[in-house]
Structure 1
């Protein structure tokens, strides 16, 4: 559902962006200001949520088997033992990394390639991404926390992706695998 919603918003934003006269220097300046403001809001929200996570300091132990990397050739995932606090901070860190990668990409597209429409589109999609973030929903909007680790988002075209396993059998097998590696 979220993928379809993102596609509809993207297509709508593209149609609106085509109507904006970016050739006008004043409009372009306002588009740049809007983009920078949106990115500052996004970064501010993520940093604020990370401070909330640190303040809550939830030390509940969380065990799961992380999905193996598709490129590694491994058949079993790695056992992860962490706390809710550390898991949430790691997820916020991933989100912040995504914002900075997007920012770098936009600097290339707009600064070097001189594309202007992505400024408008990335402002909207970035703000929607923050609103859709599970951690923002939990810690800022007061939504009910889903079970951690969060389910992996569907891949392109809605295809399911391998996410972390939380069932007792998978955890036991991963613990056994860790123990056999220590014995060798």
Structure 2
């Protein structure tokens, strides 16, 4: 298991213990505080992604990026060639991150408003901010780390809970040439 996954698990279990100790039943105003903290955290995450997208647009890196997007592991079809720029790739990653925040907000909203759970408000007030500040885009555009190694575009999928990594995009010359011959050109 990767250290980031272990860290997220430990962080989540710690946040769950804190959430269990908050007396939501005895003091109903704590629910209002938890809601306010949750909404503020989600807005902060959206603002982080917006700020990153502004930095990407300002840099306007038009370096061509070619990679082969993998198909399903069960499929026999070759991957699809993607030709884009660093700018467009980074903006699409910011867009994915923002959609992830919004989908998480919908899920937690459903769990809280419809099902009556309050603990997810506390947990999801902390974890998304941590993830947004540690994302690969944030590491490049907020913290100024060079886009090399694990931050090289296109980003590889992180290993899952059990160390199994999903097949990432292929960037080698042979895979790109094979995809071009197959006619799988796609512009993002």
TM-score by length of 2: 0.91
**Per-residue deviation, residues 61-83 of structure 1 (Å, max 9, x unmatched):** 00000011347x24311000000
1:151 equivalent among 153, 156, 162: 156
* Separation (CA, whole Å) in 2 of partners of 1:46 and 1:119: 21
Deviates more, 1:145-154 or 1:112-121: 145-154
SS of alignment partner, residue 158 of structure 1: coil
2:111 equivalent among 90, 109, 112: 109
State how 1:2-81 maps to structure 2 within 5 Å.
2-23=4-25, 24-70=27-73, 73-81=75-83
Which has the larger share of helix?
Answer: 1
Consecutive aligned runs of 4 or more in structure 1 exceeding 3 Å deviation: none
* Separation (CA, whole Å) in 2 of partners of 1:44 and 1:91: 15
* Separation (CA, whole Å) in 1 of partners of 2:123 and 2:163: 22
1:125 CA drift (Å): 0.9
* Separation (CA, whole Å) in 1 of partners of 2:183 and 2:161: 33
State how 1:119-130 maps to structure 2 within 5 Å.
119-130=121-132
Give the aligned partner of residue 93 of structure 1: 95
The answer on whether the counterparts of 1:3 and 1:158 sit within 8 Å (CA) in structure 2 is no
Q: What RMSD, in angstroms, separates the aligned Cα atoms of the two structures?
A: 1.5
Give the aligned partner of residue 165 of structure 1: 170
SS of alignment partner, residue 162 of structure 2: helix
* Separation (CA, whole Å) in 2 of partners of 1:35 and 1:169: 47
TM-score by length of 1: 0.93
* Separation (CA, whole Å) in 2 of partners of 1:113 and 1:169: 52
Could you tell me which runs of 5 or more consecutive residues in structure 1 were left unpaired when the two chains were aligned.
Answer: none
Count of aligned positions: 179
SS of alignment partner, residue 165 of structure 1: coil
